[in-house]
Every structure is written in structure tokens, then in C-alpha cells.
């Protein structure tokens, strides 16, 4: 890492309290524009809660979140998305009765005002962006299939495509390879790496082979607190992180995922 | 636009529809006219329930608002208000002077405007209040059912202003035109048919527009839509408001055909019946809503005149059968294995699994 650019997202001392259970305790995290960050940690570490907090699905009890120099802690979900953050959910959140292309076009709408929807015309710019994403996620010949009929891996890619189609500056990808075989996992890693020139990406996963393929800066979360930050090699070598995973081998992790 | 066999079928149906006054008896024509008026309302249910996933068990309210708005004018037309004349039922109820609320309805154009605007505006306001708080699904259905109950109770209790349980009836003219003649019945029938076609064309366009896609997207995953940066509330409110407007227009036309509007048509039971028409016809296919309305209502006419006590059981059985075996209704039989049908089937099997647990 050379001279650090101004962070695109900053979480400062964020605590999330679910009726006494602290899902996140005093978490501070900053993400750089167009960079990759991988968030790992055992089940229940608070990884998804962290995503939920950024996107406004869960409200922190204390602390603040700043995105592009604007405090977004109390904005409505769609307002946060409009500022330029979009999230992929853990279980594929595609729109099942819409075709692949329609899913992407709903995501790619530049002007999100509902007044603009009383037309059958799709702006050329949005259509082109959807077409190029369709190609990127390898679903060009599946464009008219409804999303419910896609294979599991295809749904995951479609949702990544939808998130990319919003043209958000920060993408949060929650377990993008859940339920995928090794080959698809590798393709997903390549897909994510190809996004970095344009978007900052935060990936949650616990499949270590996938994390290694991404080879990004890693943050380890444990019991709602940040345990360690560093490169993949540093994290691998860290005894504390190994202890947290209770000596479980990578293969077990992959199987658990 | 490419002409297909579907256009040909549509043209034939429309031709028979337009020629119906010469093909069927006056009684049958009167029934057909009423049921077509109801099918305008049913298309609104198709829009909200089928396409937007909003189940309303209170469409009778909007139907009633449209019906009463027109009926109030029909009761006043021909009366000399300056002379202190009042509708017959008010005289019987011992009302001393025409209530203020009634005065503007002496104007026919005001009344017609109310038929279109009041149900739509009320539906928009009501649904905005509910959807803004993110209340949906079964809870929304229950709230609308309570609304239907409250509305019919209110209408019955305010006998002096609304005609109470008997409703408003005994109309003679509209804009000075005798609406009780056989010729008038035909004209009202054709007006109804034209409005059915217009509503059909409008909704076909709406559902093919980006608005339609956003509506289905909201039905499929309201949170996903929100987390793509869209506010789902206006889509749902607009859809519900359009359905309310259509119900109001249907109610006004029904009142013209039947010559009566009463609480018996606006309460909980009729509101649920309306949903059954659409469930039987097909909630994701526009013509299914019309077909279902005609079919169920003609069946009701036949069965309830032969065996009056049997109808309610028949209706219940019909609903259960439609929901369990024909999730996309009769129209779904003609378009088997469509995307919507598969998804609805999947949803049903998932629900079954969940209840089994």
C-alpha cells in the first residue's frame, strides 16, 4: 500500500446491541476507494451484522458511519444505496419471477424516481450497461430465463451482476461463493478482481481457498470485535486467528461453508 | 404491431360483446352488464393482488364509494332543492333539511368526478399510511377487511344520510335521460363494455411498462428492491390507488345497471367474493380476471336461484379448489407452465412444508 487515499467508508466505534447481546463492539474500519477488503471470522462473529449496519438494515446503538465524507448512520436504506453502496445478500436475493435481463435493468436504473417508470422505453445507456454486465457474469444466453429457474451458482452471479449494475462505488458481497463448487468459486474470484478498477469491494467469506484466490487485505472479526487486520499470509501465520478457528483445517471450513 | 391469433380471438370476443344486445335476452343482458362492471373492479384486484402481491379484502369499500357517489346524484336529479325537496328516504327518516354533504351532488358532473376521484384518492391516502409503516402481507389484508366492516357499519348506521340498510334505489334519470328504458339499458351496457376495454388496454400498457416491472420486482422482494436504491412505497400506493379507482368506476356502473346501491354490496363478504372471482379466473393474466368474474357470477346466479342455501358452500369450495389446484386460475390453463405459475406453485409447496414442520 502506497500513500493512502482518503477512505471511501469509515466506521468509527460502531456498537450494535440486540437487546443486550452485543453483535458488534466498538468496531472501527476504513475502506479505500477501488480497493478490496476481505472480512472473515467464525460463525456468529458479526460479519453479516457489519454489512447490515453499513447498509442501514440494522442501526448501531453508538458510533458513526461516514461514506464519502457524509454521515450515513441514520439515512433510510434506499438513500444509503443512492449514495453509492450496494449489497449482495447471503442467500441469493434475485427477483424470482423477473427475467435475468429485467433483474439487471431494475438494478441499472439511473433515475430512481417512480415518475420515470410510466414508459416502456429503457434508456440506451442502461441497456448497454446491463448487456455488458450480462456478458461479464456469463449469462448472455440466459437473458430471458426467469431468475427462479437459474442454477444456484448462476443466481449468485446474477445478484453480483445486479449489485454491479447499480454502479455503486462500494459493493458489499456477503458470501458470494456460498454453495458453489471449486471451479465456480475460482470464476467468482476472477469476477470480483475484475471489478476493482471501478468499485471498492468488501467480501465476506470463510472459504479460505477463496480468500487466498482474492489475495486482498483481510480483516478478522471475532465475537463482534476486530481481532486482526493484515495480508492473507499474515493472517494465516497468526496464532490468535488460528486459535479462534479452534485449529479447524481449511478443508473443514470449506465444507462448513 | 404484429397481429397474432390472440388479436383475432380478442376481436371476435369483442364483436360478440358489442352485438350481445341482439343475441341475448334483456334479463341476460342486464346480468352481463352488471358482471362486466364488476370485472373492471376485478382487473384492479389482478393488478394489486396478482402483480403487486397486495391482497386487499376491502375492495367493496371503493366499489361502494363509486356507487354511492353516483347514486346520490341520481336521487337528487329532478328534485327542486330550492323548494326544500328531499330524497324520499330522508323524508321517511324525518330529516328536516338536505344535509350539506349532499348539496354538491346535485351537479351531475361533480358526481361523476367523485366517482373517479374519491375512491382513488381515498385508496392512495389509506395505503400510503399503511405501506409507509412497512405493514404488508396478511396484516394489510386484515386492515382492509376491518375497513370494509367499518364502512358497511357506518353506512347502515347513518340511515338518514345514506338510506341505511336499504341503500339508495328508485332512480329515474341521469342528465335528464330516462335510464329505466330498454334502450337506455343497451346504451349503459355499451358504455360498460367500452370502459372494460379501456381499462384492459390501460392495464396492459401499465403492466408492460417499467412501472409493471418495478411492481413485480416489489412483489418478488420488497427488501431487495429497497436495497437496490428504490423506494417501493410509491409503486404500491399507485397500484392500490388505480385499483381503487377501477373499483369506484365499476361500482358506479353496477349501480346504473342494477338500479340500487346498498351496504350488502360493500361489506366483508362481497369484498372476499371479489377476490374469489380473480382467484378462479387467474390473478396474473388480465383477461383471467374478467373471465373469472363473469363465470363465478353467472354460476352464482344459476345456483342461488335453484338452491339458494348452497351458494356459499359452492363459493368456498371454488376458492379452495382454485387455490390448491389452479394457482394461476382458469387463464393459467391456457398459458401453462408460465413463469408466474411455476413461482406460485413453488411458493405453495414451500408453505406446505413449513406448516408440516
Of residues B144, B152, B143, B185, the one with CA closest to residue B65: B152
Please check whether residue A250 lies inside any domain of the structure.
Answer: yes
Give the domain extent around B107. 31-307
Determine how β-strand B177-178 pairs with β-strand A85-88.
unpaired
Q: Band the pLDDT of B354: cuts 50, 70, 90.
A: very low
Q: What is the pLDDT of residue A41?
A: 87
Residue A134 lies in a domain: no
Q: Convert the pLDDT of each residue in B141-197 to its tens digit.
A: 999 999 999 999 999 999 888 988 889 988 888 888 888 888 889 999 999 999 999
Backbone phi, psi, residue A14, to 5°: -85, 130
CB of A159 within 8 A of CB of A133?
no
What is the arithmetic mean of pLDDT over B32-53?
96
Interval B195-234: pLDDT, tens: 999 999 999 999 999 999 999 999 999 989 999 999 999 9
Say if B351 is an interface residue toward chain A (CB within 8 Å).
no
Residue B54 CA to residue B57 CA, distance in Å, equals: 10
Comparison of pLDDT for A80 and A247, the residue scoring more: A80
Residue of B nearest to A82 (CA): B229
**CA A196, A198, A204 angle in degrees (round to 5)?**
45
- Kindly give the residue spans of alpha helices, DSSP state H, lying in A137-249: 152-165, 182-195, 208-214, 232-237, 239-244
Mean pLDDT of chain A: 87
Q: How high does pLDDT run on average in chain B? A: 89
Query: Residue A38: left if φ>0, alpha if ψ -120 to 50, beta else—which one?
Result: beta
Beta bridge partners of A88: A173
Q: In the prediction, which pLDDT does A3 show?
A: 55
CA distances from B233 to B141, B218, B237, B239 (A): 17, 9, 6, 10
Q: What is the pLDDT of residue A257?
A: 42
Q: At A228, is the secondary structure helix, strand, or coil?
A: strand
CATH value at residue A85: 3.40.50.300
Q: Which helix (H) or strand (E) holds A247?
A: none
Q: Are B292 and B329 a contacting pair, CB within 8 Å? A: yes
The nearest CA of chain A is from the CA of B112 a distance in Å of: 26
Q: Is the pLDDT of residue B355 over 60?
A: no
- CB atoms closer than 10 angstroms to residue A150: 20
Whether pLDDT at B289 is above 70 = yes
The pLDDT tens digits for B313-347 are: 888 888 888 888 888 888 887 776 665 566 666 65
User: Using a CB-CB distance cutoff of 8 angstroms, which residues of chain A are in contact with residue B231?
Assistant: 78, 112, 114
In a domain, B322, yes or no: no
* Rounded (10°) angle between helices B26-45 and B286-306: 130
Substitution target in B227, B232, B341, B344 with the highest count of A β-carbons within 10 Å is B227
- Report d(CA A78, CA A109) in Å as an integer: 13
Contacts of A106 in chain B (CB under 8 A): 213-214, 217, 225, 228, 230
Chain A: closest CA distance from residue B250 (Å): 24
Asked if the structure places residue B273 within a domain, the reply is yes
Q: Beginning with the edge strand found earlier in the chain, give each strand of the sheet holding A21-31 in spatial order.
A: A21-31, A9-18, A62-67, A70-71
* Chain B residues 98-117 with a CB less than 8 Å from chain A: none
Q: How many CA atoms lie within 13 A of A15 on its CB side?
A: 10
Q: Is the sign of the CA dihedral B241, B247, B249, B255 positive or negative?
A: negative
Give the Cα-Cα-Cα angle A162, A211, A21 (nearest 5 degrees). 80
Grid coordinates representing B183 are: 334502450
A130-134, B15-19, B83-87, B243-247 — most confident range = B243-247
Domain of A239? Answer: 9-90+201-256
Rg (CA), chain A: 18
Q: Tell me, what's the ipTM?
A: 0.86
Residue A146 DSSP label: B
Which of A53, A95, A144 to substitute to test the interface with B, most B CBs within 10 Å?
Answer: A95
Residue B3 has pLDDT above 90, yes or no: no
- Can you give the pLDDT at residue B350? 52
A91: three-class secondary structure by DSSP: coil
Distance between CA atoms of residues B325 and A151, nearest Å: 27
In this predicted structure, the answer to whether residue B357 has a pLDDT above a threshold of 60 is: no
Cβ neighbours of residue B5 closer than 8 Å, sequence gap 6 or more? none
Contact A67, A85 (CB under 8 A): yes
| pLDDT over 80 at A217, yes or no | yes
| B108 occurs within a structural domain | yes
Position B340 scores a pLDDT of 59
With respect to residue A146, please indicate whether it lies within any of the assigned structural domains.
no
pLDDT (mean) for A81-90: 90
Question: Is B1 within 8 Å of chain A by CB?
Answer: no
* Helix ranges (DSSP H) in chain B: 5-23, 26-45, 59-76, 88-93, 108-132, 137-157, 159-162, 182-208, 210-220, 222-226, 232-258, 268-281, 286-306, 311-325, 329-334, 339-356
B339–A97 CB contact, under 8 Å: yes
Q: How many CA atoms lie within 13 A of A94 on its CB side?
A: 31
- Flag if A114 and B226 touch (Cβ within 8 Å): no
pTM: 0.90
- Label residue A182 by pLDDT band (50, 70, 90): confident
Q: Round to whole Å and give the CA distance between B348 and B333.
A: 18
Find out whether A237 and A229 touch, Cβ atoms under 8 Å. Answer: no
The answer as to whether B346 is a domain residue is no
Which residues of B fall within a CB distance of 8 Å from A102?
Answer: 213, 217
Total domain count, chain A? 1
pLDDT tens digit sequence for A99-157: 999 999 999 988 888 888 888 888 999 999 999 999 999 999 999 999 988 998 899 99
Q: Which residues of chain B are within 8 Å of residue A166 when distances are taken between CB atoms?
A: 228-229
Amino acid at each position: 500500500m502506497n500513500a493512502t487515499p482518503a477512505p471511501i467508508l469509515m466506521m468509527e466505534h460502531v456498537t450494535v446491541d440486540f437487546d443486550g447481546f452485543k453483535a458488534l463492539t466498538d468496531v472501527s474500519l476504513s475502506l479505500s476507494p477501488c480497493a478490496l477488503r476481505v472480512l472473515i471470522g467464525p460463525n456468529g462473529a458479526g460479519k453479516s451484522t457489519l454489512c447490515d449496519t453499513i447498509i442501514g438494515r440494522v442501526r448501531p446503538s453508538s458510533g458513526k458511519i461516514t461514506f464519502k465524507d457524509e454521515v450515513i448512520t441514520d439515512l433510510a436504506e434506499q438513500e444509503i444505496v443512492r449514495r453509492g453502496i450496494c449489497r449482495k445478500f447471503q442467500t441469493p436475493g434475485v427477483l424470482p419471477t423477473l427475467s435475468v435481463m429485467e433483474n439487471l435493468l431494475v438494478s441499472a436504473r439511473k433515475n430512481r424516481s417512480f415518475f420515470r417508470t410510466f414508459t416502456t422505453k429503457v434508456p440506451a445507456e442502461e441497456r448497454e450497461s446491463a448487456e455488458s454486465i450480462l456478458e461479464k457474469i456469463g449469462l448472455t444466453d440466459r437473458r430471458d430465463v426467469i431468475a427462479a429457474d437459474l442454477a444456484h451458482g448462476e443466481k449468485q452471479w446474477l445478484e453480483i451482476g445486479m449489485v454491479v449494475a447499480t454502479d455503486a462505488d462500494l459493493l458489499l458481497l456477503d458470501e458470494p461463493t456460498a454453495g458453489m463448487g471449486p471451479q465456480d468459486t475460482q470464476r467468482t474470484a476472477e469476477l470480483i478482481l475484475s471489478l476493482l478498477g471501478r468499485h471498492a469491494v468488501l467480501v465476506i467469506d470463510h472459504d479460505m481457498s477463496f480468500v487466498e484466490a482474492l489475495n486482498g487485505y483481510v480483516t478478522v472479526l471475532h465475537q463482534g470485535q476486530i481481532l486482526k487486520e493484515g495480508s492473507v499470509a499474515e493472517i494465516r501465520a497468526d496464532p490468535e486467528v488460528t486459535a479462534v478457528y479452534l485449529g479447524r483445517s481449511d478443508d473443514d471450513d470449506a465444507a462448513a461453508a | 404491431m404484429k397481429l397474432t391469433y390472440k388479436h383475432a380471438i380478442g376481436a371476435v370476443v369483442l364483436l360478440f360483446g358489442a352485438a350481445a344486445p341482439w343475441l341475448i335476452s334483456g334479463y341476460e343482458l342486464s346480468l352481463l352488464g352488471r358482471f362486466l362492471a364488476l370485472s373492471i373492479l376485478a382487473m384492479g384486484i389482478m393488478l394489486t393482488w396478482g402483480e403487486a402481491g397486495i391482497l386487499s379484502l376491502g375492495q367493496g369499500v371503493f366499489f361502494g364509494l363509486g356507487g354511492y357517489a353516483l347514486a346520490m346524484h341520481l336521487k337528487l336529479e329532478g328534485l327542486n332543492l330550492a323548494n326544500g325537496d328531499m330524497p324520499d328516504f330522508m323524508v321517511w327518516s324525518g330529516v328536516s333539511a338536505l344535509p350539506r354533504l349532499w348539496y354538491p351532488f346535485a351537479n351531475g358532473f361533480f358526481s361523476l368526478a367523485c366517482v373517479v376521484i374519491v375512491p382513488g384518492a381515498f385508496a392512495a391516502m389509506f395505503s400510503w399510511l399503511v405501506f409507509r409503516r412497512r405493514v404488508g402481507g396478511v396484516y394489510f389484508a386484515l386492515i382492509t377487511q376491518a375497513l370494509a366492516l367499518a364502512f358497511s357499519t357506518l353506512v347502515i348506521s347513518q340511515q338518514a344520510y345514506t338510506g341505511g340498510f336499504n341503500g339508495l334505489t328508485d332512480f329515474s334519470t341521469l342528465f335528464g335521460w330516462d335510464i329505466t328504458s330498454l334502450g337506455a339499458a343497451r346504451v349503459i351496457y355499451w358504455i360498460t363494455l367500452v370502459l372494460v376495454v379501456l381499462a384492459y388496454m390501460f392495464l396492459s400498457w401499465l403492466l408492460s411498462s417499467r412501472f409493471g416491472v418495478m411492481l413485480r420486482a416489489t412483489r418478488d422482494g420488497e427488501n431487495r428492491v429497497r436495497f437496490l436504491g428504490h423506494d417501493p412505497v410509491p409503486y404500491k400506493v399507485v397500484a392500490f390507488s388505480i385499483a381503487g379507482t377501477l373499483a369506484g368506476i365499476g361500482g358506479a356502473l353496477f349501480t346504473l345497471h342494477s338500479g340500487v346501491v346498498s351496504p350488502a354490496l360493500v361489506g366483508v363478504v362481497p369484498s372476499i367474493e371479489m377476490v374469489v372471482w380473480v382467484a378462479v379466473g387467474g390473478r396474473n393474466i388480465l383477461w383471467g380476471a374478467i373471465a373469472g368474474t363473469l363465470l363465478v357470477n353467472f354460476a352464482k346466479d344459476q345456483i342461488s336461484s335453484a338452491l339458494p342455501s348452497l351458494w356459499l358452500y359452492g363459493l368456498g369450495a371454488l376458492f379452495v379448489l382454485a387455490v390448491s389446484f389452479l394457482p394461476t386460475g382458469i387463464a393459467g390453463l391456457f398459458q401453462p407452465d408460465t413463469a408466474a405459475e411455476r413461482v406460485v406453485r413453488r411458493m405453495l409447496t414451500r408453505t406446505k412444508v413449513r406448516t408440516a414442520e
